[in-house]
Amino acid sequence: MEPSVLENQIAWHIKAYCLPPPETEYRFHKVRLWRFDFAWPSRKIALEIEGGTWNGGRHVTGAGYAKDCEKYNEATISGWKVIRATADMVSNGQAIQIIKRAIDTFPETEKVEQRTVPILTSATIRMPSTKAKWLQKALKKEKVRANR
């Protein structure tokens, strides 16, 4: 995926401040395909650039906001510190100041393996059948990966 103008701008700020280089489009969840725009995995710090906040972008629609909440909640449960920055925060330098404070606050740790998702079946939880089917597919993929 091609980086946005905001992602390029924050990447330049990170270099200018001599901060540790982040991983881009970092996949943090074993089952879901969620990615962080920028991540420092050894510190469990993530940066999400929330574009389109003033012009009706995906992040401010009802469905987009709900999906972002799900992603950020899962990240938090997994121990990630997620920094969210708007275009204004990137442009006025507020975002890079927050990132610098986070990097200074949370030291590098040993590489932490991602936690595994508990094995659930559609019989143990009540949910609409479409979600149960999605969960069953995800669990099958996880079992295949675990058996490799």
Same domain, 61 and 111: yes
Same domain, 42 and 29: yes
Same domain, 80 and 127: no
Counted domains in the chain: 2
Task: Give the single-character DSSP code of 126.
Answer: -
pLDDT given for residue 120 in this prediction: 38
- The residue range of the domain holding 146 is 116-148
Query: DSSP E strands: which ranges in the chain?
Result: 23-27, 35-40, 45-50, 81-86
Same domain, 124 and 66: no
Per-residue pLDDT of the chain (148 residues; tens, 9 = 90+): 667 788 889 999 999 999 999 999 999 988 889 999 999 999 999 999 987 555 555 556 677 778 889 999 999 999 999 999 999 999 999 999 999 999 999 988 856 554 433 443 434 334 444 545 555 565 566 555 555 5
Same domain, 81 and 130: no
13 and 93 in contact (C-beta within 8 Å)? yes
pLDDT given for residue 10 in this prediction: 93
pLDDT given for residue 141 in this prediction: 60
Same domain, 89 and 121: no
- Is this structure's pTM higher than 0.75? no
Same domain, 15 and 54: yes
Question: At residue 131, what is the residue type?
Answer: K
How far apart are the C-alpha atoms of 62 and 65, rounded to whole Å?
A: 5
pLDDT given for residue 104 in this prediction: 95
Same domain, 125 and 110: no
pLDDT given for residue 26 in this prediction: 95
pLDDT given for residue 20 in this prediction: 96
Question: At residue 143, what is the residue type?
Answer: K
Same domain, 66 and 123: no
Same domain, 135 and 82: no
CATH code at position 109: 3.40.960.10
pLDDT given for residue 117 in this prediction: 39
Same domain, 110 and 122: no
Same domain, 66 and 78: yes
